[in-house]
Amino acid sequence: MDLASKLGGNIDKQQVLSAVQQYEKYHVCYGGEEEERKANYTDMVNKYYDLATSFYEFGWGESFHFAPRWKGEELRESIKRHEHFLALQLGVKPGHKVLDVGCGIGGPLREISRFSSSSITGLNNNEYQITRGKQLNRITGVDKTCNFVKADFMKMPFPDNSFDAVYAIEATCHAPDAYGCYKEIYRVLKPGQCFAAYEWCMTDSFDPSNQEHQKIKAEIEIGDGLPDIRLTTKCLEALKQAGFEVIWEKDLAVDSPLPWYLPLDTSHFSLSSFRLTAVGRFFTKNMVKALEYVGLAPKGSLRVQDFLEKAAEGLVEGGKKEIFTPMYFFLARKPEA
């Protein structure tokens, strides 16, 4: 019932189906074009997160991202470790002023703040996620040290040289232009300090002339609100073009003892992450169908579940074929002035 009450985010419940239809039209599966998605990325991404956030929180918890995983390690443990790794790479210390670019409802923000005793600002352009994030900050007691700012990460409302560290976890993939996004991050980061990120990327194994590869890419784009999915090499080029010195970079999926896509794989079953399994997703789909039928969930909710299921299929296939990664990591430094 909690899921039903949150479906649609800040969209009027009577307008959810219309919002779904508008969102779908941006994508290849429905005749949409990449340039249109890039030109209207704010509307597309906002609609996506209004529609999908409640499903994410229901399935993933507060941190909406993948992680490399050790054998015997629970999914939630791996997610926290992935966040701690980022904080350690950045050298985040007590008293540091940190920016989380594209912070979702703030799961990583709260974890990293408590881990490092730092103050973190979450930047997000979705009002529903910010409202939810503030509620969770109050519940966990970090509302005095962590805050949210509603803004576009292509046009940040911060002065130059504001932050001691900046990170992004599977978020700047929503940017229509990697260079423009990284340049803004460069501007607000203090000289001599670092930016680290986990990026969603197509790998060098992706073949743009392969129709199956293109189908997988399109499924991930519609299911995850992406205007495009860049190659890892393009992210690296954009970082350097923005002025960063790249300290190191690597696709962390390559050495993960367990496949990063395992929670979504239909062959996998886990009680601890049951809602993400094929059985759990089947249960959720039928629950949403029933809730929509009796009027407790807005019309269009099942359509959202459908494109999220399509994303899960694309992510698993992209992972198995090694043409996609959600954890291309880089640590980059802004040179001293």
Structure tokens at 36: 């249109």
Structure tokens at 142: 């970090």
Phi and psi at 148, nearest 5°, equal -125, 145
Structure tokens at 271: 């009680």
pLDDT classification of 266: cutoffs 50, 70, 90: confident
Q: What is the pLDDT of residues 79-125, one digit of tens each?
A: 999 999 999 999 999 999 999 999 999 999 999 999 999 999 999 99
Q: Percent of the chain scored above 90 by pLDDT? A: 80
pLDDT classification of 5: cutoffs 50, 70, 90: low
Q: What is the pLDDT of residues 250-260, one digit of tens each?
A: 999 999 999 99
pLDDT classification of 3: cutoffs 50, 70, 90: low
Q: What is the pLDDT of residues 61-74, one digit of tens each?
A: 999 999 999 999 99
What is the pTM for the complete model shown? 0.94
Across 26-40, 87-101, 224-238, least confident range: 26-40
**Predicted local distance difference test score (pLDDT) of residue 256:** 96
What is the rounded distance in angstroms from the CA atom of residue 174 to the CA atom of residue 60?
A: 19
> How many residues would you count in the chain?
337
What is the rounded distance in angstroms from the CA atom of residue 127 to the CA atom of residue 150?
A: 7
Residue entry with tokens 């949409």:
32
Mean pLDDT of 199-210: 98
121: Cβ contacts below 8 Å, ≥ 6 apart = 97, 98, 99, 100, 146, 147, 148, 149, 163
pLDDT classification of 337: cutoffs 50, 70, 90: confident
What is the rounded distance in angstroms from the CA atom of residue 337 to the CA atom of residue 330?
A: 22
**Predicted local distance difference test score (pLDDT) of residue 35:** 95
The answer to whether 82 touches 197, Cβ cutoff 8 Å, is no
What is the rounded distance in angstroms from the CA atom of residue 101 to the CA atom of residue 251?
A: 20
**Predicted local distance difference test score (pLDDT) of residue 293:** 83
Strands (E), the chain: 97-101, 119-124, 146-150, 163-169, 189-202, 245-251, 324-333
DSSP 78-130: HHHHHHHHHHHHHT--TT-EEEEES-TTSHHHHHHHHHHT-EEEEEES-HHHH
**Predicted local distance difference test score (pLDDT) of residue 4:** 54
Q: Percent of the chain scored above 70 by pLDDT? A: 97
Q: What is the pLDDT of residues 152-201, one digit of tens each?
A: 999 999 999 999 999 999 999 999 999 999 999 999 999 999 999 999 99
Reply yes or no on whether the pLDDT at 6 is more than 80: no
Mean pLDDT of 229-256: 98
Reply yes or no on whether the pLDDT at 270 is more than 70: no
